[in-house]
Structure 1
C-alpha cells in the first residue's frame, strides 16, 4: 500500500494551471495540503525559512516546478535549491513541469541531480496520479 502524501508544493505563475492542479488534487485526494508559490524566489524563501525554523511536517514530499516564471525562474530556483536540499534530511521528490518541449531544456533538467523527472504540460490525470501514488 502506498503512503499518502501529506504536503506537496507547486511553484508556478500560471493562475489557470494552479487552479486546475488544486482542483485535481482536492477532488482526487492526492495529498492533504498543496503549497503554492508564484515564483522561485517565494519558494526559496520558504525553504530557507524552514532551515532556520526546522519543522519536518512543513517540508513538502513532492515539488512541481515550472521553468518560466518572473522574478526567479525555475532554473535559478533549481540552482539554489540543489545547494540546500540535502540539509533537510528528508527525501524531496522534484518534478520539472513545463510546456517547453525543447530537447535542450528536457536534457538540462534531467541532468540535474535534484530533478526526478521532466513532465510536459498539460499533465494528464493518470500521469499526476502516478506521481502522487508512487
Structure 2
C-alpha cells in the first residue's frame, strides 16, 4: 500500500519506534512519516503546512494521553481547519473505555479506535480501510 504521508502523534518513543517498524514491515511503504510528540506540536506544524498550500497527511495515528495538548484537544482544533482533503484519523491509545469510544465517534475525521500496542493485524485493518476511503 502506498500512501504519501503518515503522521504519528505520540509522546512515547517506544510506541513511535514500534509503529515505524510495523509500517515498514507491513507493505505500508510511505514516502514520508511525520512524528510529533504532542497535539500542540502537531497542530502547529500541520497548520503551517496547510497555510503553505501543502497537503495534509493521508493517515494520522493519534495517541490521546500526551502532555501540553492531548489527543482530544488536537482533534477539537484540527477539526476546525478548512481541510479540502481530510486525513483519516485512527486513535491509537491505552485509554480505552466506553466514554473514549463514544467521544471518538463524535469526530467526523476519526475512522477507528485501536488499543495500544498497535499490532500488525490493526495496521492491516487500517490499510484495508484506507483503500476503501475516498
TM-score by length of 2: 0.88
**What is residue 52 of structure 2 aligned with on the other side?**
53
> In the superposition, relative to structure 1, how do residues 111 and 88 fare at CA in structure 2: closer, same or farther (>3 Å)?
closer
Where does structure 2 lack aligned partners over 5 or more consecutive residues?
none
Contact 2:58 2:86 in 1 (8 A): yes
More helix by share: 1
**What is residue 106 of structure 1 aligned with on the other side?**
101
Contact 1:110 1:118 in 2 (8 A): no
**What is residue 119 of structure 1 aligned with on the other side?**
114
Give runs of aligned pairs for residues 1-134 of structure 1, distance below 5 A. 4-32=2-30, 33-56=32-55, 59-84=56-81, 87-133=82-128, 134=131
Q: What is the alpha-carbon distance in structure 1 between the residues aligned to residue 76 and residue 86 of structure 2?
A: 17
Q: State how many pairs are aligned.
A: 128
Contact 1:7 1:31 in 2 (8 A): no
Where does structure 1 lack aligned partners over 5 or more consecutive residues?
none
Structure 1 segments, 4+ long, off by >6 Å, are none
